[in-house]
Amino acid sequence: MQETTTINNFKSEEYFINMGPQHPATHGVLRLLLTIDGEIIKKVEPDLGYIHRSIEKMCERDSYQQIVHLTDRMDYLSSHINNEAVCLTVEKALELEVPDRVKVIRTIIGELTRIASHCLWWGVMGMDVGALTTYFYGFRDREMINDIFEETCGARLTMNYNVPGGLMWDIHPNFVNRVKKFIVHFKTKIPEFDRLLTENIIFQKRTKGVGVLSKEDAISFGASGPVARASGYSCDVRKYHPYSALDKVTFTEALQTQGDTFARYVVRIQELWESLSIVEQLIDNIPEGEHRVATNAVIKLPKGEYYQKVETARGELGVYVVSTGTKNPYRLKFRSPGFSNLSLLNHIAVGGKIGDLVATMATLDLVIPDIDR
């Protein structure tokens, strides 16, 4: 080990320290190998693969209906949007037009998923920087959404509600009412979030100017989602490549320019409002009609390559399917948002302290199964 700095005749040395794989701030089984000098971070090297299941290889032997179920297990907080991505790819390849009712319901549930995911993130973000109350507040509101999902989809987390060609079954008769109740409830709660954490001076001091990412670096590192938008990089897939019913709604893309931890925090709070507004625009206008169009029991995609991107709660998820015309994909690649967002962690954490790394990681909002796949 080399001597690095000398202060008042005291020599300091670099050393390694393990953060994870069971560290509470890594939110899953991620191991970070930190090279530190005192408390200053010199290098962060993520060690991945603790829960790698090789979903891409499993997809090569599965039918397209089965693949949908595997995607729940990637980013489990955006499970509905992941399912939707695969279904949209299959529908694109088959040139299958799904009914408007399906599109609207998919978008509503997708945005509710985003709200639920951001609620969990907000609770955990507060907890990571030492405010345990937020955890309970975040989970309280997320619980209401999970109850709605449970009633309609039968599951709270891994929903499997999408199938190629539409939805597994129609929405529950209570769905519209409960969502409306939630909108009224949640509108009073976001200001509470702000009062509790956003405007908290201790929280602001811990997050402002920490982990700064420039716009150029965000693009170069392939960042997406709130992480990229906090750096002023407008990249919302819902705006640039709208899918399902997102072309029918109006919303503002949440953008900040500072690129620091606080900006990433603010972008997600803004997204809560935007998602709520999208749900509000659609919930009274769910068109009547079928909830599913028939597909062949064995789906064979025409020979070719298909790419579909969607905006999950974490950023841009891409599904790249190469088909040779059989019932299984020849190759299926998931471009996961967390993977690219993690790759920039070293870049923005170096020079900061370990406590700052925890705050920075909290706003990257990593879900490890999404990275490991």
Partner 1 sequence: MTNAALKELIGSWFPNPEVPVDDKPEKGISEVQEPQEPQPSSLLEFTEEGSEFLNIIVPATHLHALMLKLKTHPDTHFNYLFCLTGMDWEPALGVVYHLESTEHRHMVVVKVKTEDRDNPNFDSVSDIWRTAEFHEREVYDFFGIKFNNHPNLKRLFLTDEWDGFPLRKDYVDDINMVIK
Minimum CB separation from partner 1 for residue 13, in Å?
23
For every residue of 286-316, DSSP letters joined together read ---S-SB----SS--PPSEEEEEEEE-SSSE
d(CA 306, CA 290): 26
80 binds partner 1 (CB under 8 A): no
The interface mask with partner 1, positions 231-250, x = CB under 8 A, is --xxx----x----------
Polymer length of the chain: 373
User: Any idea what DSSP says for residue 77?
Assistant: G
- Which stretch in 19-27, 122-130, 195-203, 227-235 sits in contact with partner 1 by CB under 8 A? 227-235
Beta bridge partners of 316: 311
Query: CB-wise, 41 or 345, nearer to partner 1?
Result: 345
Contact 141, 186 (CB under 8 A): yes
27-66: contacts with partner 1 (CB under 8 A)? 48-49, 52, 54, 56-57, 61
Instruction: List the one residue from 117, 340, 360, 363 that touches partner 1 (CB under 8 A).
Output: 340
The interface mask with partner 1, positions 305-324, x = CB under 8 A, is xxx-x------x-x-x-x--
- Residue 27: left (phi > 0), alpha (psi -120 to 50), or beta? left
Tokens matching residue 42: 């010199």
d(CA 366, CA 75): 9
Minimum CB separation from partner 1 for residue 208, in Å?
25
- Which stretch in 32-40, 140-148, 254-262, 339-347 sits in contact with partner 1 by CB under 8 A? 339-347
129-188: contacts with partner 1 (CB under 8 A)? none
Contact 129, 203 (CB under 8 A): yes
Query: CB-wise, 245 or 332, nearer to partner 1?
Result: 332
Q: Show Cβ contacts of residue 13 under 8 Å, excluding neighbours closer than 6 positions.
A: 1, 2, 3, 4, 37
353-372: contacts with partner 1 (CB under 8 A)? 372
d(CA 358, CA 370): 19
- Which stretch in 3-11, 124-132, 178-186, 330-338 sits in contact with partner 1 by CB under 8 A? 330-338
Query: CB-wise, 13 or 45, nearer to partner 1?
Result: 45
Phi, psi of 137 (to 5 degrees): -65, -45
For residue 176, the tally of other CB atoms under 10 A from its CB is: 14
Query: CB-wise, 122 or 233, nearer to partner 1?
Result: 233
327 binds partner 1 (CB under 8 A): no
d(CA 174, CA 183): 14
344 binds partner 1 (CB under 8 A): yes
Q: Which residues bind partner 1 (CB under 8 A)?
A: 48-49, 52, 54, 56-57, 61, 217, 219-222, 224, 233-235, 240, 302-307, 309, 316, 318, 320, 322, 331, 333, 335, 339-340, 342-344, 347, 372
